[in-house]
Amino acid sequence: MTTQTPAPTTLPPRYAVIFPGQGSQSVGMLADWAEQYPQVRQTFQIASDALGFDLWAVCQGTHPEFSLDDTAYTQPALLTASMAIWQVLRDELNIESAYLAGHSLGEYSALCAAGVFSLADAVRLVHHRGQYMSAAMENQSGKMAAVLGLEDEQVSLICEEVESQNADAIVSPANFNAVGQIVIAGNEVGVDKAVEQATALGKRAVPLNVSVPSHCRLMQPASDKLAAEFANVTFNAPTIPVIQNRHARVEADSDAIKQALIEQLSLPVLWSATENRLADKHIKLQIECGSGNVLTNLAKRQAQKVPALATDKVAKLDEIRQALQGE
């Protein structure tokens, strides 16, 4: 009687891919990737066809009309950059991620990578998202600032006190990014007074160069318009679990995914909770898929640190390949 050798067990991947949001853009981004990988320009062509304008020219600063600094163009540009690199990672490294997550706008990239909606639908959605966000602030001005060195609860309390003591103030936490780094958003009065209180406690507060205060209730009109747009888009079940910003958990149902994405724009991004969730799932490596290295740097500031590698330069692909081989 012969015994059969059992087939080797394939272990699930212990890495996650994370996608950056606004603030990661730069004129000329992905030019080095495009020189080596035709998938980059091919991905941008799909996006350009869906949008009706040359998105690659916007990224390279050569478009005669549209600027990468305008959120209506920043958002589709960053999403397409992420999806172009995602395609290279899949083609070159046969990447199979255990989880996906994205910061703010990056959540759309993560959901696109998971097959929840197509690239064409995704770029149209975030283009409209940017337009609706700008429209929500047409008759008012907003601000965002990063508060450094305070606990989450302290920042929340400061915002509550400012609103209770000033009838015209709007301010709330927008991004819980990492330990001691919370971004606040609201109107000028609210953010300025919250910054004053944080500074009075001996902490730093750094104004952010943004045109629109994301993830606060000033974005509710934009969120409502987005909800109407979603009704015309097919949402599929994800092929890879996506940890969403709204509640730092995975949704399998497409309607639940859609609802969390609608609410995301006017509620805070729970990024530190997302990072902790990845650590709890025994993720050993994160790959930041997109332009810049903002999330890679934030990974170093988390309570539970999961190492991250960025794709901000094409030369880093070899480093990622080596890390995955040793994973």
Of 323, 279, 300, 322, which Cα lies nearest the Cα of 99?
Answer: 279
Alpha helices in the chain (DSSP H): 31-36, 38-51, 55-60, 71-93, 106-113, 119-136, 152-165, 188-200, 220-230, 254-264, 271-280, 294-299, 317-325
Phi, psi of 2 (to 5 degrees): -100, 145
Residues contacting 258, CB < 8 A, separation 6+: 230, 235
Q: How far apart are CA 44 and CA 34, in angstroms?
A: 10
Which residue in the list 24, 82, 104, 172 is annotated as catalytic? 104
Q: How many helices (H) and strands (E) does the chain have?
A: 13, 9
Q: How far apart are CA 281 and CA 284, in angstroms?
A: 9
* 215 DSSP 8-state letter: S
Active site residue 103: no
Q: How far apart are CA 140 and CA 153, in angstroms?
A: 28
Residues contacting 138, CB < 8 A, separation 6+: none
Phi, psi of 195 (to 5 degrees): -65, -40
Work out the number of other CB atoms within 10 angstroms of the CB of residue 255.
Answer: 9
Which residue in the list 215, 223, 272, 291 is annotated as catalytic? 215
Q: How far apart are CA 311 and CA 313, in angstroms?
A: 5
Instruction: Write down the residue that tokens 């929340």 correspond to.
Output: 156
Residues contacting 214, CB < 8 A, separation 6+: 22, 104, 133, 144, 174, 185, 265
Active site residue 128: no
Residues with active-site annotation:
104, 215
